[in-house]
Amino acid sequence: MTDLPQTENCENDFTSALSNVFGFHGFRDNQEDIVRAIMSRRDVFAVMPTGGGKSLCYQLPAHLLEGTCVVISPLISLMKDQVDAAQVNGLAAEFLNSSLDASDRTRVSRAMSAGKLDLLYVAPERFASPGFLGVLKTIPISMFAVDEAHCISEWGHDFRPDYLSLSQIVSEFPGVPVAAFTATATARVQDDIIARLVLRDPHLTRASFNRPNLSYQVTPKGDVDDQILNFLADHKDQAGIVYRTTRKAVEATAAELVRNGVNARPYHAGLEDEIRHANQEAFNRDDITVIVATVAFGMGIDKSNVRFVIHADLPKNMEGYYQETGRAGRDGEPAHCVLYYSRGDIPKIRFFINQIEDDAQRASATGKLNDMVNFATVNVCRRSQILGYFGQALDEDGCTGCDVCSGEVDKIDATREAQIVMSAMMRTGQRFGAVHIVDVVIGANTQRIRDLKHDELKTYGAGSDHDKNYWRGILDDLTAQGCLVRTDGEYPVLNLTPLGREVLFGRREFQVLRRQEAPAAPKRKRAASRKAKQVKQKITDFDRALFEKLRAVRRALAQERNLAPFIIFSDRTLREMAHHMPTTPSEMRKITGVGDQKLLQYGGDFIQAIESHNDRF
């Protein structure tokens, strides 16, 4: 192998630094505008989806600007991976948090005080401490990057009081630009973040929330552990996350998966720190394929090759669901997101919502839950529902990337059923919620119905040919399609909209989508072969045997250097190597994700593996 090439120092040319340092040959959408704004010392607020390249937006300026970029992140468990990834690209990066021992804290503090760091990751609690603020004022600061910025908003899905201290940044460091990033923010949350951080005429980026490489599926929940095992049978050796609501459910599901030969481990806040950390590291390093985790605990997973995310319980809001599913397919390759839904999950979430003392916050949480229920129960394009929640329309007519649009559901005329339930609403004065309306329609013999004389209505029992779940589904469909609205408050009632009256009086048809009935699958066997074909990774033109050899090289290097494998190179980079088969440093340098430092550190090992593979032929 020849000597590795020496590249020219391009400190003032960020397009060259993009290639030389990070190994990318072009910016993704929005990245260049954000970098230019920061380089011109302007504040930034950016809503970018998970996997959209947020970290590069501040790491590239941190590399070019004088001083230290202070990154504030709530995910202590993620900081090491972020620092490792920056360091292998040649950046001087460190983190300060409670996971460090005294000697490492001293080492990092000295490097920080000496102004030797490009990047310093800290938690908001540390930033708020008076002693730490005092130290920051003694060193040159290039910028502040606030990650997971939605945590500062009380209207966000993951409000954290510690983030409120970040409102001090602008007043304490008036000449330093602040860049705030989040993957999930409605327009209301966006305005709240900007106000609380006191951002000064920020450059605004609101990237598309569409993740076209993700497919979405909602399936009625039965024996959920069996359903998960059926799913995993079609995704052998693929990395994935299973979310459960409670620690007990996490432990039970993880144990069941292990009993059935799945290489899985649990992850939740109740585990001892060492065990929790070891389980996450095993997942990051490809030692296990599946991690089972609570949705309530921030995992901080930065793994790029997660091929599926399973929600075995209903998430409490769309922001959380979007962020959790967004941990799949960060490398841009196809990934599958499945939600197993049961109406029985709703009361569990409502119980915790009812403990919220603030009326406005409780009403907001209730509304968010209703939006999540609509997503799970109404067979309207999943992608369009997600985008619509964040105020974005789907460009194309149908997404072809969800169970609704891929033809797994049938369109059914339900005009008569819609008229029955809306007639019952009208005849009861539009003063009742879904439960009572359904009881009237099926002809339930309840004391309340008798007291109100609703058993004398013309629509009483008009829908007795179907059960409660059927009629509740019709109400959900009517709400999702804009024929009904739920009032706010602890006890919401249903009201007709002008569109609903059009259907009621026969001036418009009403159609619903219903999942096609599939043959019953043997227990823990393939549940639906047609769907399995749809979600498999796209076949691309690369040498699969070589790809597996390159994965083995990556794994060995990662173990030797105590790194997660994806930090060395992503699966996408290895596939590109297995396609182009570079055998010289200059050829290797053209591969996406291979910057100067990675070429120097790892290029020889991968070139040798490729040459050895080619020598067989």
In a shared domain, residues 500 and 462: yes
Query: Given this model, what pLDDT does residue 584 score?
Result: 93
- Regarding whether 138 and 79 lie in a shared domain, the answer is yes
| 507 is a domain residue | yes
Q: Which domain holds residue 352?
A: 214-407
CATH number of domain containing 465: 1.10.10.10
Q: Are residues 354 and 418 in the same domain?
A: no
Q: What whole-number distance in Å separates Cα of residue 388 and Cα of residue 427? A: 33
Last-in-domain residue among 184, 206, 228: 206
- Choice among 293-297, 307-311, 608-612 with the minimum mean pLDDT: 293-297
> Are 200 and 244 members of one domain?
no
Specify if 5 maps to a domain. Answer: no
- Model confidence over 465-494: pLDDT tens digits? 999 888 988 998 888 788 998 886 667 889
CATH code of residue 586: 1.10.150.80
How high is the mean pLDDT of the chain?
86
Task: Specify whether the CB–CB gap between 614 and 19 falls below 8 A.
Answer: no
Q: Which helix (H) or strand (E) holds 44?
A: strand 44-47
Of residues 297 and 366, more confidence is placed in 366
Write down the pLDDT at residue 377. Answer: 79
Residue 523 lies in a domain: no
**Inside any domain, residue 382:** yes
Q: Does residue 492 belong to any structural domain of this protein?
A: yes
Residue 347 contacts residue 319 (beta carbons within 8 Å): no
Q: What is the model's pTM?
A: 0.69
Closest CA to 108 of 90, 118, 121, 94: 94
| Residues 225 and 194 placed together within one structural domain of the fold | no
pLDDT of residue 539: 34
Position with higher pLDDT, 320 vs 397: 320
Q: Where are the alpha helices (DSSP H) in 26-101?
A: 31-39, 54-64, 76-88
Q: Are residues 343 and 389 in the same domain?
A: yes
Residue among 378, 364, 322, 347 at smallest CA distance from 489: 364
Give the total number of structural domains in the chain. 4
Long-range CB contact pairs, 478-481, < 8 A, 24+: 478/418, 478/421, 478/422, 478/503, 478/510, 479/374, 479/378, 480/374, 480/377, 480/378, 480/380, 480/385, 481/378, 481/380, 481/510
452 phi-psi bin (left φ>0, alpha ψ -120 to 50, beta other): alpha
335-359 per-position pLDDT tens digit: 999 999 887 888 889 888 888 888 8
pLDDT in tens, 155-173: 776 788 888 889 999 999 9
Inside any domain, residue 304? yes
The verdict on residue 251 lying in a domain is: yes
pLDDT tens digits, one per residue of 102-129:
999 899 999 999 989 999 999 888 888 8
- Look at residue 561 in the predicted model and tell me its pLDDT: 85
Where a domain ends, among 155, 175, 206?
206
Spatial separation of the C-alpha atoms in residues 204 and 223, rounded to whole Å: 46
CA dihedral sign of residues 575, 581, 583, 588: negative
Contact at 8 Å (CB) between 23 and 145? Answer: no
Residues 457, 365: one domain? no
pLDDT given for residue 36 in this prediction: 92
From 342, 239, 242, select the one nearest 295 (Cα to Cα). Answer: 242
User: Both 324 and 235 in a single domain?
Assistant: yes
Do 188 and 225 belong to one domain? no
For residue 54, give the CATH number of its domain. 3.40.50.300
CB of 120 within 8 A of CB of 70? yes
Q: Taking the C-alpha atoms of 425, 429, 433 and 439 in order, what is their torsion angle to the nearest 10 degrees?
A: -60
Q: Rounded distance, CA 11 to CA 246, Å? A: 49
464 and 418 share a domain? yes
Q: 607 vs 381, which has greater pLDDT?
A: 607
Which parts of 445-591 are beta strand (E)? 484-486, 494-496, 511-515
CA distance 510 to 412: 9
Looking at 153, 185, 206, the residue that finishes a domain is 206
> What residue has token string 């809503």?
47
Asked whether residue 249 falls in the same domain as residue 174, the answer is no
| Among 200, 128, 196, CA closest to 165 | 128
Same domain, 184 and 63: yes
The answer to whether residue 60 is domain-embedded is: yes
Q: How far apart are CA 218 and CA 374, in angstroms?
A: 11
